[in-house]
Amino acid sequence: MAGEISPFVIFFASILTSNMILSNFLGMCSYISISGEYKTASGLGKSVTLVMVFTTVINFAIYHLVIVPLNLQYLQYILFIIIIAATVQIIEMAMDRFLPDLHVKLGIFLPLITVNCAILGTTLFMVIRDYGFVQSLVFGLGSGLGWWLAISALAAIREKMAKTKLPRGLAGPGIAFIITGIMALAFIGFSGIFTIQ
């Protein structure tokens, strides 16, 4: 069934209707804790997008070239997590060597990304939905962009709210969740366009 969905639809659906944060709840930990400041949040979003594209493609190759032929499905979690950790390391080293400016900006986020559930989640969704190569590529890219969009939007809202007086105890994570809830409600409005689930 997954073979029939056009990559174009997957791309927009993974940004808008099946947004990693707002409808799949993935990557929440860093989403809540690093959304106090717009610039930092946007930097994290960019790094996540980059890592997500690379890991999705590499995990796609590993899944179809190694895991399926050797019947190693029961080891897939271990392989995926090692590959994600290794990819993050390699991207960090390559960035340090070739794009030092970018490395200064994004470097601090890269180690954090290894344990970001959204990355592993994208890979697992790809395997479960049985995507082809192009589909996986756009799915990784779209999920990353969607994650970036959501964290930037939340950070921008929280920056504007910094001066607002909130009830005691609601400040911090509490209000972040309520804002996210309202954002998720707004994104449901897109669901008429297309869905992939």
Partner 1 sequence: MAEGLRQVISRNVWKDNQVLRQILGICSSLAVTNLMTNSLVMGLGLTFVTTLSSLTISMLRNLIPHRIRMIVQTLIIASYVILVDIFLKANLPDISKALGPYVGLIITNCIIMGRAEAYAQKNPPLLSAADGLFAGIGYTLVLLIIAFIREFLGFGSVFGWQIPFLNFEKWTIMVMPPAAFFIIGVLIWVMANLFAPKSGKKS
Contact flag: residue 93 with partner 1 (CB under 8 A): no
Total of residues contacting partner 1 (CB under 8 A): 45
Contact flag: residue 182 with partner 1 (CB under 8 A): yes
Give the residue, chosen from 32, 34, 57, 102, that forms a contact with partner 1 under the rule CB under 8 A: 32
Contact flag: residue 177 with partner 1 (CB under 8 A): yes
CB of 95 to partner 1, least distance (A): 20
Contact flag: residue 185 with partner 1 (CB under 8 A): yes
- How many CB atoms are closer than 10 A to CB 95? 20
CB of 164 to partner 1, least distance (A): 14
User: Between the CA of residue 117 and those of 29, 145, 148, 181, 188, what are the distances in Å?
Assistant: 8, 15, 14, 19, 22
CB of 138 to partner 1, least distance (A): 19
Q: Using CA atoms of 142, 143, 144, 150 in order, give the dihedral in degrees to the nearest 10.
A: 110
Give the residue, chosen from 93, 178, 189, 195, that forms a contact with partner 1 under the rule CB under 8 A: 178
Our CB check for partner 1 shows the closer of 36 and 105 to be 36
Chain positions contacting partner 1, by CB under 8 A: 22-29, 32-33, 74-78, 81-82, 85, 115-117, 119-121, 124-125, 128, 167-178, 180-182, 184-185, 188
